[in-house]
Amino acid sequence: MKKKWFAAIVFVSLMVGCAPGSVQNTDSEAVSVPETTVIRMASHTSGNILNIIAEDQGFLEDEGISVVYVSAETDAQVFSGIIDGTIDVAASSGTNLPLYYISNGTNLMIFGGYDLTGCLPLFTRVDTKWNGIEDLIGKTAAFEPNFFPVTGTLLDLGYDPVNDITWYNPENQEDRIKAVENGDADYGLVGTPLNYAVISNPNIKIVTYAADIMPEYSCCRAFALSSWVHKNPNTVIALLKAWIRAMEYYDSHHEEAVEMVVSLLHNEDFARSYLDNPRFDLNTDPMKKSVERAWNYLDRLGLLNEDAKKVKIDRHINTDLYKTALDACQREYGENNPKFYEKLQAQYALNNYS
């Protein structure tokens, strides 16, 4: 029987835990009960569609847990809450920001994901000719150089994007759109919540999306303090199980999931601008390879401090808990959608080497 789901804000914004081998019995036929039954999760400027589905469908209750949303209006508030212990889990603060905090000594663990790629449009004025991302070189861009899908790709092409591009980054992402409109910037990039605003603006055009520049770049990873993950491994497994089941529901009942979001936002065009876009890829896999790639790009771009060279980033990515959750879901629910779980197992094997 369906539960009434939590009326969280559903916007989608633009990673320590157990060391390798510390999770025992990953092939066990049973997963132990959660250490804590209530998880405090940052709502930030986004909700979590997977968590909303999991609550609506009773998946959280099935796993013996509940999620309480803690409001955080900025990324700084998200990380402040994680560090001071008022927030347990965050999942909507990208990949570059958790990596930045890890590089500066915050002991975070990435244990899963929320969306693998989002609807992040790169845009310019309607009269600007577009040949490819090399067009950014020598121009002014209204976003940050730490957005590695763009700058990492340019780096691989032989450019020095941090210095070859003039960076203009107003704090409010809506001002990035205005900057391109009024000529303060040649190009801009914003998060998924503003995709509709860009589409609806007659003075600008989308030239590409981040997911088209770098497939599976790792948009938003799920993370917590390492100490919290160490103390609550079964709770993390329970949360991931609920999210995996929600992802399967989203995959097989897309229209119903969209209707959930629309009923919260009261704006169908806005919701469908990303939910019906194939670039918006909800995915709970930790995607270790993608996270490590992001770390390496940030290092090569010179955006991490010197102490970061001492950090072994793979110690801040836990894949065992997700694998335990995935195996349990496949064992318990796989007969309902065997191809879905086979796809997730293949993805895990490809992207989470030891």
CATH number at residue 98: 3.40.190.10
Q: Are residues 244 and 208 in the same domain?
A: no
Domain that holds residue 183: 121-213
What is the Cα 227 distance to its own chain's centre? 21
Residue 31 lies in a domain: no
Residues 319, 192, single domain; the answer is no
- Residue burial 254-268, b: 16+ Cβ < 10 Å; e: rest: eeebbebbbebeeee
- pLDDT given for residue 252 in this prediction: 95
Question: Residue 153 falls within a domain, yes or no?
Answer: yes
Residue 75, amino acid: D
Query: In terms of domains, do 346 and 245 share one?
Result: yes
pTM over the 0.95 mark: no
pLDDT computed for residue 30 by the predictor: 59
DSSP string, 229-271: HHH-HHHHHHHHHHHHHHHHHHHH-HHHHHHHHHHHHS-HHHH
What confidence score (pLDDT) does residue 48 get? 85
List the structure tokens of 132: 């490819």
Do 107 and 125 reside in the same domain of the chain?
no
Low-confidence ranges of the chain (pLDDT < 70): 1-31, 44-47, 354
Last residue of a domain, one of 213, 235, 265: 213
- Domain count along the chain: 2
Are residues 54 and 158 located together in one domain of the fold?
no
Q: Which residue has the tokens 């900057």?
A: 179
Domain boundary (213, 238, 257) is at 213
Kindly state whether residue 24 falls inside one of the protein's structural domains.
Answer: no
Same domain? 294 vs 345:
yes
103 and 149 share one domain: no
Helical (H) or strand (E) element with 222:
strand 220-225
- Same domain? 188 vs 226: no
Same domain, 113 and 244: yes
CA–CA dist 117, 209 (Å, integer): 10
Predicted local confidence at residue 266, as pLDDT:
84
Kindly give, in sequence order, each residue whose CB lies less than 8 Å from that of residue 267, ignoring residues fewer than 6 positions away. none
pLDDT, tens digit, for every residue of 149-168?
999 999 999 999 999 999 99
Q: What is the pLDDT of residue 164?
A: 97
Residue 17 resides in a domain: no
pLDDT digits 0-9 by tens, 8-61 = 333 333 333 333 333 444 444 556 899 999 999 998 655 689 999 999 999 999
Tell me how many degrees the CA angle 39-58-44 measures, rounded to the nearest 5: 40
27 in a domain, yes or no?
no
208 shares its domain with 226: no
202 CB burial (10 A radius; 0-12, 13-18, 19+) = exposed
